[in-house]
Amino acid sequence: MQTAQARNAREGITGVVLYDDSRFFQWLEGPEDGVERVMGSIRNDRRHTDLEVLSHHASPARRFDGWDMKLAARGIDPALWQGDVLEPPREIINDLRQRPAAAPNLLAKLIPLSGATGDSPLVKSLAGKSLGSATASILKDVLLTTVIPLLLHRRGWSAADAQHVLENPRAPELAELLVASDQAASLDLIRELRGEYVEARHLFAPLFEPGARSLGDLWGDDFCSEFEVTLGLCRMQTAIRLLGADTPRAVLSGVEPRVLIAPVPGEQHQLVAALDSEWLWSEGWSPQAEFPADDRALADLLSASWVDVLDLSLSAAFHREDRLPRLTRTIAQARRASLNPALVVVVGGRAFVEGGAVGPDVGADIASRTSLDVDRLMAQGMRTAGDARSRPAGSRRR
């Protein structure tokens, strides 16, 4: 190990090697040519049999930054080593035995959260807490106390431009950086790309939305955990705040529609709700963001005050097709509870971008594929609902 560590240091290689009962799992990362040279040595080493490469890919950032090829093994006396030794948790060893192909993801779990994510207070407060209500309340705080008030933009692209948004080719790279150990690298990329767009919010559709889907793909490929996806989305929301805003928001003439924005109860990912809130705010609307714990809490909100449009969203990262039947029930209950008999329901999330689901599948009026279009769709939905209201009662939608 010590000879290997010295050579790896010369090659600029970091990583971890885990020993379990005559099998080794190793993660090597660094400059491509250095990794190739070390892999060549390992291949030629006749002490190994059945060498298998489980994953080999380019990555914009290190996951084991500062890790000088640590050894992870059970029952090793750390006193015999010079510090670079870890006792791997039993669950990781068990998982590796059952799913050796998932080793890249499982080895990444050896990175302690505190060391891997810097000193961000947001991340610190997430560390060690279960997902769900804790994350929801932290994200709610960030959204309501900092994200929305800071994002004061003037009107930008017209709705027609929304049809022509191209995904930024570096969105997948952003996703990898968001789950990498160095959070600063993802912010650097966002800052770099910020210059390509007229306003910070014009990054939403080409970068953040496809970046969120790429995060879901990293999870699907077993490259990162569900927690890391959530953390990545959370970092994205933090980045939106850090981008700042320098322009006043648009002023809408006439009566402002009342829009209630919420993740579907039970959905822990809130990026779509955050992007839609910020977009509408910058367009001069006054959306109300809520995080109802269950369908009843949502129904209570709708029966307590008038709402023109309800915007419900599923994860921007995960497909969530399995949640559509439940969403249908949520929407039916919301309509029953609403003071507004012509409530317009807009749904969003990855299921409606790629999954082929459309709004009426779940009892919604419209499915939004991007926050860039959400104000136009809502205005259109309200016009249609208004038309329906002026028709004879028998021909109304509800």
Ligand X SMILES: Cc1cc2nc3c(=O)[nH]c(=O)nc-3n(C[C@H](O)[C@H](O)[C@H](O)COP(=O)(O)O)c2cc1C
| Residues that bind ligand X in the complex, under the rule CB under 6 A | 4, 7-8, 17, 24, 26, 28, 38, 41-42, 44-45, 47, 69
Shortest reach from residue 176's CB to ligand X, in Å: 22
Q: Which is nearer to ligand X, 4 or 144 (CB)?
A: 4
User: Is 59 strand, coil or helix?
Assistant: coil
In terms of CB distance, is 7 or 194 closer to ligand X?
A: 7
Strand (E) or helix (H) holding 367: strand 366-368
Please state, in angstroms and rounded to a whole number, the distance separating the CA atoms of residues 121 and 119. 6
Burial 320-341 (b: 16+ CB within 10 A, else e): beebbebbeebbebbbebbebe
* Shortest CB 43 distance to ligand X, Å: 8
DSSP sequence for 378-391: HHHHHHHHHHHHHS
Give phi and psi for 143, each to the nearest 5. Answer: -65, -50
Residue 156 is given by DSSP the state: -
For ligand X, the closer of residues 46 and 164 by Cβ is 46
- Pairing type for strands 70-73 and 259-263 reads unpaired
Smallest distance, ligand X to C-beta of residue 4, A: 4
State which amino acid sits at residue 144: L
Tell me how far, at minimum, the Cβ of 7 lies from ligand X, in Å: 4
Residue nearest to ligand X (CB): 45
- In whole angstroms, the minimum distance from the beta carbon of 17 to ligand X comes to 5
Q: How far is the CB of 105 from ligand X (least distance, A)?
A: 20
| Closest to ligand X by CB, 38 or 123 | 38
Long-range contacts formed by 12-16: CB under 8 A, 24+ apart: 13/38, 13/69, 14/62, 14/64, 14/65, 14/66, 14/67, 14/68, 14/69, 15/64, 15/67, 15/69, 15/70, 16/64, 16/67, 16/69, 16/70, 16/71, 16/72, 16/86, 16/107, 16/110
Closer to ligand X at the Cβ: 18 or 307? 18
Which letter does DSSP use for residue 368 in this model?
E
**Residue number, 46 or 90, with CB nearest to ligand X:** 46
For residue 40, the minimal CB distance to ligand X (Å) is 7
Shortest Cβ distance from residue 54 to ligand X (Å)? 14
Angle at which helix 226-243 crosses helix 133-141, to 10 degrees, equals 10
Nearer to ligand X, 17 or 314 (CB): 17
Nearer to ligand X among residue 69 and residue 239 (C-beta) = 69
